[in-house]
A and B are shown apart, each in its own frame.
Chain A
Amino acid sequence: MKLSPAALLRLLSRFAFALTLAGVSMAAAAQNMILIGAPLPLTGGLAPEGLKLQRGYDLWAEEVNKTGGISVGNARMPVKMVYYDYQSNTPRAVQLAEKLITDDKVNFLFSPFGSGATKAASAVSEKYGVPTIAPTASSVEVYDQHYKNLFGTYTPNSTLTEPIAELVRKNAPQVARVAILARNDLYPLALAEEFERSSKARGLNVVYFEKYAIGTLDHASAITQMRAAKPDWIIATGYINDMVLVHKQMSDQNLRAPVVTMINGPAYQEFIDATGALANNVTTASWWHPAARYTSKDVFKSSENFTNLFRTKYKVEPDFTSAGAAVAGAVLQMAIETAGTLDRDKVRSALRDGKFATFFGPIAFGPEGYANSYTPPVLQIQGGKPVVLVPADIKMADFGLGV
């Protein structure tokens, strides 16, 4: 069949009209949804953490959408998460945060994983004035830029180190010498420095303090030096993979101590699976644990209900990273509902002034932008499971000595 120029023109104009209609209806659909952007490290060194975050976000979005969506004024608007994989590469996370705001036109943002990437990406959300919830940034250095759009749901690092140091002082008076090995990365290093402060404040002698580079596979020399320093309390900071390696290589060299603390790692099931029986009595701290018993006004209603929903959907126990992601959604939802609009200025004000009763604990943001309203639990691996030592109201076991 051969088309005349006029017929071809008619066909093209119909095609263009159909495209325009489709475009209009897509835009309308987008307007009826709340878009939330989240750059995630789904591949690369932080992939385990990326998956945990995604599970928390997905569960929250699913629960919200089951109820018809978030109440915005008189309407209910469903939530749509927009993810990009930043391959555990911080500069890429920053680029993708900008893409989410400018190309995908998201209404709000969740930060990438960890303090370093959160700090880097926070400059983008500040530039565009997009309220951003940081689910995994606890280092005060992230918040020292006094940005108005960054809200962190974790309490600062000192709220992890102080209770552990206090526990050690009370239960292990023989502990006098402390060795600290830190990943040279914003959060793990800041946490290690906080441990050093907490130890010195209690008169303990820090006999070893060293950093290791990101991606280090062999810690044998550091462990040999630690052994020579004869510490009573060994502290290692980093992420799961680092902690599995350090722990394995400590046992390779028979390095033992009355108290061994590792953050982050032991609170995750993967750490316990990878280290086996050797993990017993390792202490750690995290911002949340399934043993928490909070009644909440968020979509999850209570800590127990969140745990059950998570377990049903993913067939695993939730940990603090997944819970932290879900609570980022819960807090944003409550702020939008308080504001009654998607207007970013009003939602920002609601976040700044609100007190949110969540399954994660009571969340309110201090003037710097991070939460200052709850006590994170101290945990210890006992019998292949993390148990809560502190706070007293959800305590599951006594402090065990000897690793």
Chain B
Amino acid sequence: MLYLQVLVNGVLLGGLYSCIAVGFSLVWGVLNIINILHGSLIILGAYAAYFAFTLLGINPFVFVPLAGLLLFVLGYGLQAGVINRVMGASVLITLTLTFGLNLILENAMILAFKADYRKVVLDPPLGLIEIGTAILPRDRLYAMLLALILVGALYVLLRTTRIGRAIVAVRMDRDAAALMGVNVERIYAVTFGIGAFMAGAAGSLMSVMFPISPLTSVTFLGKAFVICVLGGLGSIPGVMVGGIMLGILESFGALWLGPDYSTTIAFVLLLVLLMFRPTGIMGKRGFD
């Protein structure tokens, strides 16, 4: 019974982790940018959901696509206006740029929203579902399902739409894609925008479960890193597997070694994978 509940906890958390990481993985895989902004974009999405809930009474689950769209616009603008200028440079330059942009965004959020914690309190609470001896909190379950739907939708978008194929083409060979008539700079901006959309959507889902503060962004960024290394940068199924694996590992780690070590386990695993299988479990070069 105990193991079943711990497994359920891990899967629920892991679904959310996938949603946190998929935008980060997409931007890294396609644009070769390690987007340090990603954690702050999640938090910005969470704040948008918080204010939509407290000021306009919009349920954060309903607000998910709107939070995503808001962040898409911001992400598209950032890539088109700023990051595209250094796309030809080494990965260190884009890393430094997103690091700097992150400092600006994080501090702007501290100024605008203050650093104290806020929380969306659904009244009445959504309650629980009991299946046998296992308990599933409805908010986590809905958030996980929505997260997986979003990740699945992104998979379909990349595989079946013109813009999705253009994104994959740019990742595989930027010059050949340009020769085929793909507007590479626009595709970069769209890809970064989609990454930001996923971050905003994840933030809106997170706002129901976790207190929001600009300072939690680094926690989400850390999780995204581990998941990308676990699952590999190459594919969306990899991110899903990596996210759910991390959720389950943290849950069982907390059970066996105590909650104090759950994060340590994730990072030890990250080191082991980097040493023995740096491409991750399902990793390959590029998105397809």
Contacts and interface: CB of A to CB of B under 8 A. Distances in A.
B97 to A, nearest CB: 23
A48 B117 contact: yes
B115 A42 contact: yes
Interface of A: 42-45, 47-48, 51, 88, 181, 184, 210-213, 215-222, 224-225, 227-228, 240-241, 244-245, 248, 251-254, 270, 273-278
Contact of B262 (A43, A45, A221, A253): A221
Nearest to B208: A248
A245 B250 CA distance: 17
B121 interface: yes
A274 B137 CA distance: 18
A228 B259 contact: no
Interface SS of chain B: helix, strand, loop or mixed? helix
Nearest to B137: A252
Given A48-B116, A241-B211, A215 B219 contact: yes
A7 to B, nearest CB: 46
Given A215-B219, A252-B140, A240 B260 contact: no
Contacts of A227: 5
Contacts of A221: 6, 9-10, 250-255, 259, 262
Contacts, number: 110
A211 B260 contact: yes
Interface of B: 1-2, 5-6, 9-10, 12-13, 110, 114-119, 121, 123, 125, 128, 135, 137, 139-140, 209-211, 213, 215-216, 219, 250-255, 258-264
A270 B116 contact: yes
B1 A210 contact: no
Contact of B121 (A181, A184, A211, A274): A274
Contact of A211 (B12, B216, B259): B259
B115 A253 contact: no
A220 B259 CA distance: 9
Contacts of A244: 117, 119, 211
A45 B215 contact: yes
B215 A216 contact: no
Nearest to A45: B215
A275 B125 CA distance: 10
Contact of A253 (B13, B123, B135, B252): B135
B262 A213 contact: yes
A216 B121 CA distance: 20
Contacts of B128: 252-254
A47 B254 contact: no
A218 B12 CA distance: 11
B47 to A, nearest CB: 15
B262 A216 contact: yes
A219 B263 CA distance: 12
A276 B251 CA distance: 27
